[in-house]
Structure formats: C-alpha cells, structure tokens
Amino acid sequence: MSHNKPVSVHDMQGFDALIDARSPSEFALDHVPGAINCPVLDDEERRIVGTLYVQQSSFEAKRVGGAMVAANIARHLREQFHDKPKSWRPLVYCWRGGMRSGSLVTWLRLVGWDAQQLKGGYKAWRGHVIASGEGLAAALRLRVLCGPTGSAKTRVLHELARLGEQVLDLEGLARHRGSVLGAIPGVEQPSQKGFETLLHAAMSSFDPACTVWVEAESRKIGRLSLPEYLVTRLRASPVVEIDAPREARLNYLLRDYAWLGDDPSGLCAKIAGLKGLLSNETLDRWQAWAHARALPALFEEMMVLHYDPLYARSQGRNFQRLGQAVAMPAEDLSDLGIADLARRIAALAAG
C-alpha cells in the first residue's frame, strides 16, 4: 500500500473521490467542489459529543463519540463504498484534518483502499480560496457588459456562453438577479463562503489568454458580497455598453419578470425595500400597481424614476473605462435580437 502522509491542497488532483467527513450542516454551508458528504458524526451527534466534552470529560466524549463514528463508518462501508474496486483512491477531509477524517481514512485503509487525508482539512482549502482568489482574478482578461436595467445583460451572457465564449456569470453563482426585484422564487442563495468557492472554481476554469465576459455588478448581489479584489478588477476593465431604447427594455422586462405578477404581495414587499430612496407617494402608487398586476405601468416608472438614474450615477462613478466603452446598439431584445447582439459582442473578442 502507498504512503499515508497527509496530502496538501496543491496535490488534490488524481483521486477517484473526494469525501467530506464533516456534518451535513457544515457541508451545506460550503465544501470543496466535487466532494460527497459522508459524515462520521451528524449534526445532532456532533452536538451531543461537544456537550459531553464540555460538561463531563474528553474521555467520555471520545467513548460515546467513538461508538457513533464506528456506526456511521460501518453504514458508509455498506451503502456508499460497497461497490468500489481495490484500486479505488479516495481523499478524505474534515474541518482541520483531525480525528473525523483520520478515523474514516484508517478504516478505508484497513479494508485495502489507498485512502489519503487532506492536510489541514477544509480550513486549509478555505485558506487556499482566500489566498489565491486575487491572483486568479488579476490574470483574467475581463470585459464588462454594461447597460441600464432591462438591457438583457444576463441573457446576453448566457448566449455568449452558448457560442463558446468564456463567461463569468456572477448572478448565476449567487442565485440572485442582482436588483431589488432579483430574488428568485424558491431558490436560496449560497452562503458567502459557498459563493466564494463557486467563484474560485469558475475563475480557475478559464483560459487566461482568452476574453472572459462578465456583467457589471455592484458590491452586493442579494445578501452576498463580491470579494474586493474582484470589484477592483471589474471597475478597471474595458467596457461594452448595450444601447437599447427604453421601449425595447420595457418589453424585455415584461417577459423576463412576468412571474412577479403572480405574487402581488411579494412584489409589494420588494418595493417596500426602496423606502427612503423614493417618496412614500411614489412607493404607494407602485404598490397599488403591483396589487392590480399593472406591470407595464409599474416597470416603466421604476425604470424612469429609479433604475435609470441609479445606473447613470453608479456606472459613471464606478467603471473607470465607461467613457471609452464600445457602444453596442440593440433595437430588438427578442430572443432573435439577443442572439444577434451576442454574436456581435463575441466578434469583439475575436477582432
């Protein structure tokens, strides 16, 4: 059998499986991309063992916890690993590369598999994500898509990806549309750590010699914050600005956000989040339109009174190269129009 020396974060490639031995709630908060969760203690068991450690003794915690760990590992051997060949090579981690992953590695190696333990565990992985993110972002050839609300920037990104372009879809990673109306029904945003892991994985996948298209974003997408190094890179990168007339943008918004009309109360709650930014009279009128499902009037006035002025203030202040932006006319934001717009934008990278 090969060595059993802990594997560093930089040597994680080449294993047949990546196993996260932490509890389900720890795994849900964030985990190494591609890992499967095989907890040696579930959340309740972890609470029990922790309480015994504090209230009684380390010995009592290990005695009770050891039985739980043994039972869980036995279950994983029966259910998760029963069909693995002798040549199977898993890499196992827990919070700090301690007893939880060590216990699982010991049993897997006793069976005959070449199991290895990640040195420093998830904590080492998290440190790697933080330490290497700025360098990854600095190496990217970012080009930023700008344009006022309703310019179909996200849809253009998706079309660019379909055309084979490299795309950093920040709103997709954050699972949020990025505005006061941006929460997606039934979709929970990841944790901040989980978002940063997804971002790290996306940036790691790009060819730094080729353009990476990204949408202009503020510092926050929903409740998640963009890392400061990425905000800085976005604001210093060359810009392509979609120039679409208000009517085309309104028609696009009415198609793209039609579902908001199905939940007037939820829409009113979102509008209430603008309190202090607009007069109470304006917000009352918008909420009345929301209750009446009068989306054309509501969306048009939201563009005129809120989104367009906000765009004019924030983009000019934050994007240093907006004055040298390549203007991309877009009279038509139908599906065919967006496909044509994406082809014209992709041609800029090839030119």
Positions annotated as catalytic residues are: 94
Helix (H) or strand (E) holding 90: strand 90-93
Judged by DSSP in three states, 7 sits in strand
From residue 319, alpha-carbon distances to 4, 147, 224 in Å are 51, 12, 20
Other CB atoms within 10 Å distance of the CB of residue 239 = 23
Query: Within 175-245, where are the H helices?
Result: 192-204, 228-236
| Pairing state between β 141-146 and 211-215 | parallel
Rounded Cα gap, residues 160 and 142, in angstroms: 14
Judged by DSSP in three states, 88 sits in coil
Query: Within 219-319, where are the H helices?
Result: 228-236, 246-256, 264-272, 280-291, 295-302, 308-318
Rounded to 5 degrees, what angle do the CA atoms 28, 133, 235 make? 115
Q: Which two tokens stand for residue 74?
A: 């036995």
